[in-house]
Amino acid sequence: MDKTTFSWLMDYIKRYRWTTIGLFLFSTITVLFQVLIPIQIGQAVNEIVGLDQVDFKVLWQAIIWLGVFALIAALAQYLQNQMSNRLTYHIIADLHRDAFNKIQKLPLSYVDNHSLGDLVSRVINDVDLVGNGLLQSFNNLFSGVILIIGVIVMMLSLDVKIGLIVIILTPISVVVSYIIASRTYHRFTEQVNLRGELGGYVDEMAQGQMIVRAFTFEDDAIEQFTSINQKVHESGLWSQFYGALINPTSRVLNSIVYAVVGVVGAFTVLSGQLSVGIFSSFLTYANQYNKPFNDISSIINEMQTSLAAAARVHELMGAKEETPSRDQAEIASVEGAVDFKDLTFHYDSQRPLIEDLNVHIKAGDTVAIVGPTGAGKTTLINLLMRFYDPVAGGIHIDGVNTLDMQRSYLRQNFGMVLQDSWIFEGTIFDNIAYGKSGATMEDVVAVAKKAQIHDMIMQMDQDYQFKLSESGANISKGQQQLICIARIMLTDPDMLILDEATSSIDTMTEKAIQETFDAMMVNHTTFIVAHRLSTIENADQILYMENGHVLEQGSHQSLLEKEGKYFNLYQSQFDHQAE
């Protein structure tokens, strides 16, 4: 873990200062009474093996104190575990929340360049690994260090020679464990990254199952999955192989320390310099001393995986957010005049998409954008909504540059219906009312009727309370699109964007909805991205685009009379339909 990741994680721990202090306090109390227990054991042993008559009073006192210390240590350890769990769950909850919130602030370019499964893996799986692995490991590490210090102090107070032997032998175990651990970290990083890739592929294939099966791609999908899974498997084997060396190596070295303490202590007892009871205390201390090393070495693999996961979450949290708006400009009364001025944009600096685009749209006009695939139609809409920002130039609405507006304010003025419907798990009412905070049932029913979906809803169990599954899988594509149309109608926006908004709807329903759209579009600037040219014949303006440039602009009739690009596209489409 690099310093920045560690510092970032410490910021989360500092949020719960009192819980952390309580954790360290109870850890210290636990260790304090644990290291006092061997002394009582030694005193009890001395009373039993003494040459004179056993002093049962002293013996019972030692046993009682032994029980008291053990009880206090157990209680303190229970409270320590409670504090540790509370701290862990608080931080996991914070990381989940902050990671999800971060995604909402990232530019779409970041989301587009990362698979959905990888993002989900970072927000859910990696955060859980950080909490359950790393934070718990830190707890064990802190307790272990305190216990080691306490045991060394007690050993030195009982016999300096034996205590120094333990201190001298300790670095061997630490150095060997560090060398092995430092060489395995990149293996665990590779393993966590491959898990994210695997999750992304599974999500991709699960969402595209219909296409996968339609193209009989099942065997290829399985082969590709097997290939990635094999990489995860091999990476896991190597990381576990190296990681597995740490614990047995540490245990062997610690056993040597225990054996040395036993042998040296035995000779010291025989020479009369050490009592049998104190010798038994030393053996208990040697066992306590070894325990933290063995415990930490046994979870080193989990720690390494957690460190790699922490780095992935930190990378997400440190990603550059959307460029802030230059100002908080607002339009007193939106009329909808739109100007694209010297607009330039590219996804890849080596491949310009839109260059020096200049177009004026009058307020209240209906503008259709047509052209071949890759012409820049959807990109133009993305720039209008500030899903992406231009490289140069700008877009002005009623004279105000959109870069000077808050994104949330800008988007509130648009109603957007896309070809791909977005339905979330919840009731039909919830999905339609999503477009307007505080919407009533009467509001929802009214727009559902306008969207020609009310009768269909009333035929369902529980009508508007019918539960839609994730992505609306339990209704048809057309019904999904109608719900999205009703959602936009509910917002009654100042401007509209329709991107193949009726592509999944039958002709009869489309005609009825088009009449509703026509009513909505009156005095509302509307952008229509269309492939079916029959739907845009009444548009005030049609922009024909190719390679990011507007090659032709005008009404449907005027463009047909030019017999240019639009004319050829129109003729080819209707000739094809005639066939």
Distance CA 410, CA 190 (A): 42
Sign of CA dihedral 529, 533, 538, 541: positive
- Residue 578 is predicted with a pLDDT of 44
Q: State the pLDDT confidence band at 579, using cuts at 50, 70 and 90.
A: very low
- Residue 341 is predicted with a pLDDT of 92
Average pLDDT of the chain, as a whole number: 80
Q: What is the value of pTM for the model shown?
A: 0.70
State yes or no: pLDDT of 470 exceeds 80.
no
Rg of the chain over CA atoms, in angstroms? 35
Would you tell me how many other CB atoms lie within 10 Å of the CB of residue 455? Answer: 9
How would you classify residue 255: left for phi > 0, otherwise alpha for psi between -120 and 50, otherwise beta? alpha
Would you tell me how many other CB atoms lie within 10 Å of the CB of residue 115? Answer: 17
Contact 340, 359 (CB under 8 A): yes
* Nearest Cα residue to 185 out of 86, 303, 83, 53: 303
What is the amino acid identity at position 532?
R
Per the DSSP assignment, residues forming a β-bridge with 542 are 368, 554
Look at 174 and 369; give whichever has higher pLDDT: 369
Distance CA 542, CA 528 (A): 9
Diameter of the chain measured on Cα atoms: 124
- Residue 244 is predicted with a pLDDT of 62
- Residue 75 is predicted with a pLDDT of 92
- pLDDT tens digits for 109-154? 888 777 777 788 888 888 888 887 766 677 777 888 888 888 888 8
State yes or no: pLDDT of 155 exceeds 90.
no
State yes or no: pLDDT of 200 exceeds 80.
no
Where in 453-529 does DSSP place strands (E)? 467-468, 495-499, 526-529
Distance CA 497, CA 297 (A): 59
Structural domains present in the chain: 96-317 (1.20.1560.10), 364-382+422-578 (3.40.50.300)
- pLDDT tens digits for 73-115? 889 989 988 888 888 888 888 988 998 888 888 888 888 777 7
Task: Give the percent of the chain with pLDDT over 90.
Answer: 5
Distance CA 48, CA 196 (A): 61
Structure tokens that stand for 141 in this block: 């590490």
Look at 361 and 178; give whichever has higher pLDDT: 361
Contact 290, 258 (CB under 8 A): yes
- pLDDT tens digits for 19-43? 989 988 998 898 888 888 888 887 7
Per the DSSP assignment, residues forming a β-bridge with 254 are none
Kind plus residue range of the DSSP H or E element containing 544: strand 541-546
